[in-house]
């Protein structure tokens, strides 16, 4: 079995030969983040997928992210190191059921979170990420009714921030649903000088108790700019790697879920990727993302609309 150092040398050699770019989400293992050409949240990665000059994209994230890259760069080969890297939130919104739901509200436009399948995006008017969601919702005329899918927690948060009354699909992320408010409050008592920062996919009581609520990239930025020296972080614990890199003198404590032995909350799908799988996928060009051309044609419109509004 090769060491990580040997794998990194081989990955670097092959990606140069194939003009491949490695994109990684903040929730990946540290060694994946460190070897990636670019690390970011869903909005950052969408932009990078659209702009890259590489011939091949190896996407260390979950399946819907790799699909988004393919939708934005259909001429490129898009690979995912482990095809089992799905998403509980995307899975909570099946396309056939959502179409029936949408058809019940013919006067509504659909804003869907980027954490959805290509089929859901094809049924959507505008996509959004947690970074730009407030901006996207506010850009829509106040008299225009909206369906928001699939995350009910993010939808409720957006309703509270924007004053809208969007119709919400009843979906959720298994990571952000499982934080224990009781355990987090106990942590705050142990660390009274720590600020609690949370992702808007968390449940409302936790968001109300938080000192700051924001997307993954916004949480990272907040820890760089805020004078606090200690933070309790209620999102997937992979982001702590970047927080510690940017803030080596600050302390970051992962918020605990309801049931955990490690005291942290990891996405079981994001953590399927590792260096051996990344190398094998790149070397053999396996686990390619393929999508129907008609789906791509429909799904690219709401993503491009989001990128236009975000710019």
The arithmetic mean of pLDDT across residues 150-169, rounded, is 97
The arithmetic mean of pLDDT across residues 194-201, rounded, is 97
E-assigned strands of 1-103?
20-25, 38-40, 56-60, 77-79
What is the residue-averaged pLDDT of the chain?
95
Residue 202 · residue 184 · CB < 8 Å: no
Residue 263 confidence (pLDDT): 60
89-173+296-310 shares its CATH topology with 179-254: yes
Please give the C-alpha separations between residue 172 and each of 14, 114, 116, in angstroms, as whole numbers. Answer: 38, 13, 11
Q: pTM of the prediction? A: 0.93
d(CA 199, CA 177): 11
Quote the tokens at residue 79: 């690979």
d(CA 10, CA 7): 5
First to last CA, the chain: 46
Residue 259 confidence (pLDDT): 76
The arithmetic mean of pLDDT across residues 82-92, rounded, is 95
d(CA 204, CA 154): 9
The pLDDT tens digits for 111-140 are: 999 999 999 999 999 999 999 999 999 999
d(CA 311, CA 230): 33
- DSSP letters of 14-35? HHHHTTEEEEEETTS-HHHHHH
d(CA 273, CA 6): 17
Residue 87 confidence (pLDDT): 94
| pLDDT confidence bin for 265, thresholds 50/70/90 | confident
d(CA 249, CA 252): 10
CATH superfamily for domain 89-173+296-310: NadA-like (3.40.50.10800)
CATH for the 4-85+270-290 domain, from 3.20.20.80, 3.40.50.300, 1.10.600.10, 3.40.50.10800 = 3.40.50.10800
> Looking at domain 179-254, does it have CATH number 3.40.50.10800?
yes
Flag whether pLDDT at 107 surpasses 80: yes
Output the CA angle 187-221-309, nearest 5 degrees: 125
Flag whether pLDDT at 252 surpasses 70: yes
Residue 78 · residue 70 · CB < 8 Å: yes
List the domain boundaries for the chain: 4-85+270-290, 89-173+296-310, 179-254
């Amino acid at each position: 079995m090769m060491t990580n150092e040997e794998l990194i040398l081989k990955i670097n050699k092959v990606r140069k030969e194939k003009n491949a770019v490695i994109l990684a989400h903040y929730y990946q293992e540290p060694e994946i983040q460190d070897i990636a050409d670019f690390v970011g949240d869903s909005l950052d990665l969408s932009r990078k997928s659209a702009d890259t000059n590489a011939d091949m994209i190896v996407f260390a994230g979950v399946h819907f992210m790799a699909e988004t890259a393919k939708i934005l760069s259909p001429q490129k080969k898009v690979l995912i190191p482990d095809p089992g890297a799905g998403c509980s939130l995307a899975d909570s919104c099946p396309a056939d059921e959502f179409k029936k739901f949408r058809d019940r509200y013919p006067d509504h436009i659909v804003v869907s979170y980027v954490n959805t399948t290509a089929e859901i995006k094809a049924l959507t008017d505008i996509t959004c990420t947690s970074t730009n969601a407030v901006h996207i919702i506010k850009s829509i005329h106040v008299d225009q009714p909206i369906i928001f899918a699939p995350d009910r927690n993010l939808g409720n948060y957006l309703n509270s921030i924007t004053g809208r009354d969007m119709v919400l699909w009843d979906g959720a992320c298994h990571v952000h649903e499982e934080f224990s408010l009781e355990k987090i409050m106990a942590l705050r008592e142990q660390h009274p000088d720590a600020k609690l920062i949370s992702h808007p996919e968390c449940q409302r009581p936790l968001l109300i108790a938080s000192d700051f609520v924001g997307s993954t990239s916004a949480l990272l930025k907040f820890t760089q700019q805020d004078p606090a020296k200690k933070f309790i972080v209620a999102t997937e614990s992979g982001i702590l790697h970047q927080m510690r890199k940017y803030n080596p003198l600050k302390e970051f404590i992962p918020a605990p879920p309801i049931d955990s032995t490690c005291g942290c909350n990891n996405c079981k799908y994001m953590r399927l990727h590792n260096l051996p799988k990344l190398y094998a996928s790149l070397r053999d060009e396996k686990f390619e993302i393929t999508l129907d051309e008609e789906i791509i044609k429909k799904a690219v419109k709401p993503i491009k609309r989001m990128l236009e509004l975000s710019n």
